[in-house]
Structure 1
Amino acid sequence: MIVTAAHIAELIGGTVEGDPTLKITGPAKIEEGFDGAISFLSNPKYEHFIYTTKASAVLVSKDFIPSHAVNCTLIKVNNVYESLGILLGHFSGDGNTESGISSLAFVHEKAELGNEVTIGNFSHVSAGVKIGDHTVIAEQVFLGKNVTIGQNCIIYPGVKIYHGCVVGNDCVIHANSVLGSDGFGFSPKEDGTYSKLPQIGNVVLEDHVEIGACTVIDRATMGSTVIEKGVKLDNLIQIAHNVRVGKNTVIAAQTGVAGSTSVGENSIIGGQVGIVGHLKLADRLMIQAKSGVSGNISEPGKKLYGYPAIDYQKYLKSYAYFKNLDQIVDKIRSLEKEVDKLKQNNNTNF
């Protein structure tokens, strides 16, 4: 694909500073640019690359002012990352499954398929499944009975969606993720063994949700485990039964959310965070990586860190003390000796 800088600017709502007729052949990292490439600059730490890059054009913020001359054409935009997303989508090749329904796929006669649905080799579509228009089901996907998938979704290879689960419109589920496996529900018995509690609920993904690879979302014991509109989950995440993740929340890899916890809207949760069950977390939280959340958080917008998670600034202050703990202990011991001497002197005087 070859396009001009002017065409790209029109596509992303930017303005060209330089040659609008410049021919662009594809995107590249700013430090790995080449003739015909378009790159981007959003982090000031990378600004020095813009003066040496071999890329022909670079996306920059509308407020960017070079400190000295640049050799590339600049395309100025309001939001570099948002514009980059549009640009990458424009240049991305079609790596999806070949369109149409593979002769090697199994589609039950009672399944309902929308217009221009794609189903790849060795995928299994059970009875009662409903798939919306323009949705792509890649290879080796299993869809259990009465699963519903909306329009314009991409379900990557190896995904398993158990019976009765619901996926909204414009969702993406990456390879080998599982929706609707049983929640971790077991009742202890007097003899020390456990009896399994049947998990009869389902999982609901609302619109515009993206699930990373090898993530597991358990079905509810009763009712639904709900991932609300616009949520983005990274790879290797565990969402337990009856959890609700609020809209537009993002969660990084290796995080686990225990059963019946409600995570607020527009929150950012780092990697390897552990959240215990039956909690209610406020909106707009920022939970730093490896934190452990063990209690309700009622104040919106808080920034938390540590195990157990506390206010971010308090954590940093506490950690500063911890780093100097040996010196603090030495000082305390020294003071104790001084106090003992004073006591001895006082006893002698009396």
Structure 2
Amino acid sequence: MEFTAQQIADLINGQIVGEPEQPVSGFGKIQEAKPQELTFLGNDKYSHFLKETNSQVIIISKKFKKEVTTGKTFIIVEDAYQAITQLLQMYESLQPKKNGIMQPTSIAENAQIKEKGFYLGEFSVISSGVKIGENVKIYPQVYIGENVEIGDNTIIYPGVKIYENIKIGRNVIIQSNSVIGCEGFGYQPDENGVFKKVPQLGNVIIENDVEIGACSTIDRATMGSTLIKEGTKLDNQIQIAHNVEIGRHNVIAAQSGVAGSTKIGHHNMIGGQVGVTGHLKIGNKIQIQAQSGVNHDVKDGEKLYGSPAFSAMDFRKSYVHFKNFSKIVQRVNKLEKLIKKENHDG
């Protein structure tokens, strides 16, 4: 599939500097792109590649306009990253869509499936009482348990396991090998200190436009629901425990974990390998840096760092002192010796 630079500029409301008829037939990273591959520049760290790149058509943010050179074609936009994202989405929408029911598969007789745009890959199982909306894509080796509900335009990639009574909204994406609705980690010690399993009888509700990364696990509630609200994006290898509630439009990076019954608000950014203990209340518009450990409630708008996590500004100040800790100890030892000497001489 081939386009001209001008056609691309028209799609993203960009301004052409160079040859409007320059052909483009693919995408490439700025440091690796071939001559007919489209690339982009939206970050200062990559600006030095402008002179080196083989790409003949480059989308650049308006702030880099002064770096435009002759010999290449540039498409100037307000935000290059946003523009390339828009183009990638358009390109993806043009790709052939999978349809139909492959064999072998297993579908319960009383499952309710809207056939429009439906795809079911080989070795997948749809159990009794399942309800599936339009344009749902279920890839090979997926298990859908009893009474699961799946909304329109949802995509479930290979190897996903969805336990019984789970509710999944519209436009949800669940990446490969994730497990939704397995039993929560609930145990209670008896009088002899032996841990006994607490039955986990609730479910998981995943609202519209949620994305769940590969190999992530969302536990069913003990009672009620574990809840992932609209627009939240979970990275790969994330653990969400029983009865957790995660609000709207959060992003949580890989290898993070949230312990049971914690409630997280809206529009938060949580870095990779963050641990959040149970029964906490995390507010809105909070930023938690990677590898932080959160063991207390967090108010709206805070920025946290460290383990246990505290104010990012206080952490950075403390870290400066920590790097000089050995020198500080030496100074303290010298002062103690000096004080002892003065006391002795006095």
TM-score (norm 2): 0.96
Kindly report which structure 2 residues correspond to 1:109-188, keeping only aligned pairs within 5 A, or say none.
109-114=109-114, 115-188=116-189
User: Could you say which residue in structure 2 is the equivalent of 1:210?
Assistant: 211
Gap runs ≥5 in structure 2? none
Matched residue, 1:316 = 316
Query: What RMSD over aligned residues (CA atoms) do the two structures have, in Å?
Result: 1.6
Which residue is equivalent to 2:331? 331
Q: Is the 8 A contact 2:293 2:307 kept in 1?
A: yes
- Contact 2:65–2:76 (8 Å) recurs in 1: no
Once residues 77 and 173 of structure 1 are traced to their aligned partners in structure 2, the CA distance between those partners, rounded to angstroms, is 32
C-alpha distance in structure 2 between counterparts of 1:125 and 1:82, whole Å = 38
Paired residues, number: 345
Contact 2:41 2:81 in 1 (8 A): no
- SS, match of residue 140 in structure 1: coil
Does the 8 Å contact 1:217/1:241 carry over to 2?
yes
Q: Does 1:13 align with 2:17?
A: no
Superposed CA deviations along residues 238-289 of structure 1, whole A, max 9, x for unmatched, are 0001111111111111101000111121111111111000001111111111
Contact 1:18 1:72 in 2 (8 A): yes
Aligned to 1:232: 233
- TM-score (norm: length of structure 1): 0.95
Contact 1:51–1:70 (CA under 8 A) maintained in structure 2 = no
Q: For the residues of structure 2 that align with 1:224 and 1:65, how far apart are their CA atoms?
A: 51
Q: Please tell me the residue identity of whatever aligns with 1:53.
A: T
User: In structure 2, what is the equivalent of residue 27 of structure 1?
Assistant: 27
Give 2:290's aligned amino acid: A
1:275-290 correspondence runs (5 A): 275-290=276-291
Which whole-Å deviations, capped at 9, do the CAs of 1:207-244 have from their partners, x for residues lacking one? 11111100000011111111111111111000001111
Alignment CA distance shift 1:223-1:281 (3 Å):
same
Show structure 1 runs of 4+ deviating over 6 A: 93-97
In structure 2, distance between residues paired with 1:117 and 1:204: 22
Identity %: 46
2: CA distance between counterparts of 1:334 and 1:77? 61
Distance 1:57 1:95 in 2: 22
Distance 1:88 1:233 in 2: 21
Tell me if the contact between 1:97 and 1:139 (Cα under 8 Å) persists in the aligned partners. Answer: no
CA distance in structure 2 between the partners assigned to 1:232 and 1:27 by the alignment? 25
